Amino acid sequence: MSARPAAPNASPAAAPADAPAWVPRVVQFMEEAIPFNAFLGVKVDHLAAGVCVLRLPWRAELVGDPFRPAVHGGVSATLIDTAGGAACFSLLERPTDRVSTVDMRVDYLRPGAGADLFCRGRVIRMGNRVAVTHMELFCGGLDTAEGPIATGSGVYNVLRKGDRS
């Protein structure tokens, strides 16, 4: 596992000095090269082989239920999908390899609002063509006493260099 995906003509994002060389490229790809992630302000807080933690800084525009208030379910689903995808991208072997979502399930456990959202994704199995992930979404920090506000699982198509699909 030497090279990792990077957006074309993109400069790597800053990363700790001891991070593997591929980390800045995946961070930059997730934060800047995917327009929807950049629009939302998604940040990669942690990235290691098979594990990703995303953070979405809180702002009032993320509310989907103004009476509670509670974060919009689409925002939760987006973070869950993106964390699973980023965890998969961290295991790819070549910059030309890709993953795309095939199936995703989100279980909304309780409302969350008013604090940064954190989503941890981890790869359960990375096969030659299919990857399986598990994600947890928290409000206010990882592993809060209240537990996650949502959990998810994802299945991703893995397209490796030289594949015809």
User: How many folded domains does the chain comprise?
Assistant: 1
Residue at 66 is within a domain: yes
Q: What is the pLDDT of residue 165?
A: 54
Whether 100 and 133 have beta carbons less than 8 Å apart is answered as: no
Kindly report the pTM of this predicted structure.
Answer: 0.86
Spell out a b/e string for 120-157, using b for 16 or more CB atoms within 10 Å of the CB, else e: bbbbeebeeeebbbbbbbbbbeeeeeeebbbbbbbbbb
Q: What is the pLDDT of residue 16?
A: 53
ω into 8 cis (within 30 of 0):
no
Q: List the chain residues with pLDDT less than 70.
A: 1-19, 162-165
Whether 101 and 85 have beta carbons less than 8 Å apart is answered as: yes
Spatial neighbors of 108 by CB under 8 A, at least 6 apart, are 73, 76, 149, 150
Residue at 14 is within a domain: no
If DSSP codes are grouped into helix, strand and coil, which group holds residue 150?
strand
Q: What is the pLDDT of residue 102?
A: 98
Whole domain around residue 148: which residue ranges? 22-159
Spell out a b/e string for 70-95, using b for 16 or more CB atoms within 10 Å of the CB, else e: bbeeebbbbbbbbbbbbbbbbbbeeb
Q: What is the pLDDT of residue 23?
A: 86
Q: What is the pLDDT of residue 116?
A: 97
Q: What is the pLDDT of residue 15?
A: 52
Q: What is the pLDDT of residue 94?
A: 86
Q: What is the pLDDT of residues 56-71, one digit of tens each?
A: 999 999 999 999 889 9
Residue at 7 is within a domain: no
Q: What is the pLDDT of residue 164?
A: 57
Q: Which DSSP helix (H) or strand (E) runs through 139?
A: strand 130-139
Residue at 101 is within a domain: yes
Residue at 17 is within a domain: no
Residue at 49 is within a domain: yes
Q: What is the pLDDT of residue 18?
A: 59
Residue at 10 is within a domain: no
Residue at 87 is within a domain: yes
Give the CATH number of the domain where residue 27 resides. Answer: 3.10.129.10
